[in-house]
Structure 1
Amino acid sequence: MFGDMMGMMNKIKEAQEKVEATKERLKTVLIDEQSSDGLLKVTITAGREIKNISVAPELLEDKEQLEDYLVLTLNKAIAKAGDINETELAAAAKDGMPDIPGLDGFM
């Protein structure tokens, strides 16, 4: 029984390491998003870090429009990044977890 417990603890540690490695990898996954008319483009990582914002010159003439574009486009990009982040981290965690009876319903 003690050996089983040690084996499970090692599997949990491996799962934690996989999750951490996945978090690091997600920092390098780039997501490009743009406004519907292409006047504003943003690039963020799957770790939700903004890497680039590109604004068409005509948007610089209307502060309110630019602010609206930024909010909408950044929110779309962040939502995509969040989906990728959650999916990848869940897969990494589940892949490394030991087989514990009854746990399947929770993962």
Structure 2
Amino acid sequence: MEYNLLGVSALILIILFLTWLKDGEKMDPPLRKRIIIDLTTIVLFWVVFEFVNHMKPNIFERETDWVINGSLIFFFGRMMQLVYQINPMIRDLNKYLETKNNDKEEEK
């Protein structure tokens, strides 16, 4: 579970970097606020994890796993969305695949 939480922390920082790369100084909220928000989110994830991890008996282990794995999926999806918005090569590939699909539908 710790490795999943490290993954969530890394994804949050990667998303911060990609957002800065995409928007630059026009970020909303501004970069300094966004850094504080993201670091607070990471700290809260770790505090909740450590609190639940040291409970005896650990009655919330499954729920904590569910939240961390769900967060991992969510932040991975958000990172992929930003990569798609930034990288024109991926957008062009998507357009090409859509036109190819439309051509196949017209042939039928």
Q: TM-score range, shorter-chain basis? A: 0.3 to 0.5
Q: Which has the higher strand share?
A: 1
Q: TM-score by structure 2 length? A: 0.39
Higher RCO (CA < 8 A, seq sep 6+): 2
Q: Which has the higher helix share?
A: 2
Larger radius of gyration: 1
Q: TM-score by structure 1 length? A: 0.39
